[in-house]
Structure 1
Amino acid sequence: MTDAAEIAIVASAFGADSVRTAGHRKWAEASRRAGAAGFEVRRELFGYEADAAPSRLRELGKQIAELGLWSVYSTPASLYMEGGRLDAAALRLALDEAVALGARLVKLQLGAFAREAHCHAIAAQLRGVNVRLVVENGQLAQGGSLSQFVGLFDALKREGHADVLGMTFDVGNWAWCGVSASDAAAALAPYVEYVHCKVAVGEGARRFAAAPTVDDARFADVLRRLPRHVPRGIEFPFDAACIDEDAARRVAWLAAA
């Protein structure tokens, strides 16, 4: 299929405890068997802090590349601190770790962006770094509001560095913030470079991530509004009773959706 979307699998889809116990390599191998093109490494799922050391990351990156996969490096750190200040130290650490891994993308949370993007400082850190920076909409009001992301990309244009970073659009996370994912997709599609695919089910404290159904019209509408040429990451949990079969089925479905 010539217009098939490129699919990555987020490590957490295999279960957080399973990744912390067995390590990322095992699940990168499972991702390859499922037919994925990429694999997202999650910093918070390392079993030990030493796993984030440059030598460990280089080894993991080599293993992922040998499987024929490209990688995403995800950190729970935020790009902006309280008051809208750039967290330059968090950005530097994330970039250094992503470069050691050999990642294609490095993903941070947006955090407390206010009005200034500080894009010149970001551009300075990115100079000579062969990894693309993307920020993700989170599940909290701070870092998960549509107005913040619209404001961010407006600020980047205003400050003269519109292309300094892109967006990871998490379809399911908008539900935690009471935002229509379709509305967000319509507003932010030009800036989206990676899509996290999941839906939210339940309400309030009982809301959790789940797999979209094949006939989910709202999920399909969101995908139609987003660019098809950007990779899609599976972040919803696989069926633990038949992980390999479920992963392969979901990869094939999402590539064609």
Structure 2
Amino acid sequence: MTDIVIVASAFGAAQVLEQGHHAYVPLAASVGAAGFEVRRELLPAGLDGTVSADVLAALGRLMAAYGLWAVYSTPATLYSHDGTLDAVAIRSALAEAQTLGARIVKFQLGGFAGDASPEALAQLLQGWRARVLVENGQQAVGGSLSQFRGLFAALEEAGVADMLGMTFDVGNWEWAGETPLACAQALAPYVEYIHCKSVAGEGARRFAVAPAGNDARFAAVLAALPGDVPRGIEFPFNAVDPAADAHQHVMWLKAA
């Protein structure tokens, strides 16, 4: 069956910041998840902005003890706003993911432009244990279908397409003004992880919600994407009984 990953923020960003990721690892394991997504922005950081290697390593050992594999999510972008590779941020995030023992490390795209060198990106990504994926973001820059088409076309042309895969965030496309189904049909060959959520509200008041069981649009997007890649739960669980809600959605997404 499809592996289901629980994104730490589904338990509430404020709660994870206060209690730490480690407080939610046993719960994620108990409701049937196969993986747990660690959010870099919700980890304790020092005055210099770095995350302690000891904290990452201990969290990785705890997850392994509970039979969970790790996704490491970083807000770092592959490309800076001017279209140049952000090599320092990339190396730093990859090192953190390796310390955690992550199977997947997930980046944002940033300001990729068509003339960026795919060979230089591929060289930066070589030699690391975690599989590197890039996620569509909520802004037009880093969240447009044309950018992702251009990125993967450039990687294909350079013969280095195997160096990078995609995290397809269903809800984020709507924030960026794109149609999720059209994006799924165009990018399915590159998708290796799916962030599952729907969007409610309008404009700046949009927020993530659980997809309804009868949501035909969400079902069509899932059907257009690979069925054997992990699916991540990123929508918030019911705060009254998060364990029951998490279990229900894990079971649903395994079979969806």
Query: Please, which moves more after superposition, 65-74 or 126-135?
Result: 126-135
The corresponding residue for 1:212 is 211
1:65 alignment partner AA: A
The corresponding residue for 2:155 is 156
Deviations 1:111-150 (CA, angstroms, capped at 9, x unpaired): 0000145332233233321110000000000000000000
- In structure 1, the gaps of 5 or more residues are none
The corresponding residue for 1:134 is 133
Q: 1:7 aligns with which of 4, 7, 11?
A: 4
Deviations 1:33-74 (CA, angstroms, capped at 9, x unpaired): 110000000000113438822222111101111110000000
The corresponding residue for 2:34 is 37
- In structure 2, the gaps of 5 or more residues are none
Q: 2:13 aligns with which of 12, 16, 36?
A: 16
- Whether 2:245 is the aligned partner of 1:241: answer no
Q: Is the 1:21–1:47 Cα contact (8 Å) retained in structure 2? A: no
Q: Is the 1:99–1:130 Cα contact (8 Å) retained in structure 2? A: yes
Alpha-carbon distance in 1 for matches of 2:187, 2:84: 23
Summarize the alignment of residues 49-128 of structure 1 with structure 2, pairs less than 5 Å apart: 49=46, 52-128=51-127
Alpha-carbon distance in 2 for matches of 1:48, 1:109: 20
Alpha-carbon distance in 1 for matches of 2:122, 2:40: 23
Alpha-carbon distance in 2 for matches of 1:69, 1:8: 9
Q: Secondary structure at the match of 2:163?
A: coil
TM-score (norm 1): 0.96
Q: Secondary structure at the match of 1:57?
A: helix
Paired residues in the alignment total 254
| Structure 1 residue ranges (4+ consecutive) displaced by more than 2 angstroms after TM superposition | 47-51, 116-128
RMSD: 1.2
Deviations 1:88-132 (CA, angstroms, capped at 9, x unpaired): 011001100000000000001000000145332233233321110
Alpha-carbon distance in 1 for matches of 2:151, 2:50: 32
Alpha-carbon distance in 2 for matches of 1:155, 1:120: 9
Alpha-carbon distance in 1 for matches of 2:242, 2:179: 31
- Whether 2:18 is the aligned partner of 1:25: answer no
Q: Secondary structure at the match of 1:228?
A: coil
Q: Secondary structure at the match of 2:162?
A: coil
Alpha-carbon distance in 1 for matches of 2:155, 2:100: 28
Q: Is the 1:119–1:164 Cα contact (8 Å) retained in structure 2? A: no
Alpha-carbon distance in 1 for matches of 2:93, 2:118: 17
TM-score (norm 2): 0.96
Residue 27 (structure 1) shift:
1.1
- Whether 2:43 is the aligned partner of 1:46: answer yes
Summarize the alignment of residues 152-231 of structure 1 with structure 2, pairs less than 5 Å apart: 152-231=151-230
Q: Secondary structure at the match of 1:82?
A: coil
Deviations 1:167-225 (CA, angstroms, capped at 9, x unpaired): 00000001111111000000000000000000111110111110001000000000000
Residue 161 (structure 1) shift:
0.5
Give the fraction of aligned pairs with identical amino acids, expressed as a percent: 57
1:247 alignment partner AA: A
Q: Is the 2:140–2:177 Cα contact (8 Å) retained in structure 1? A: no
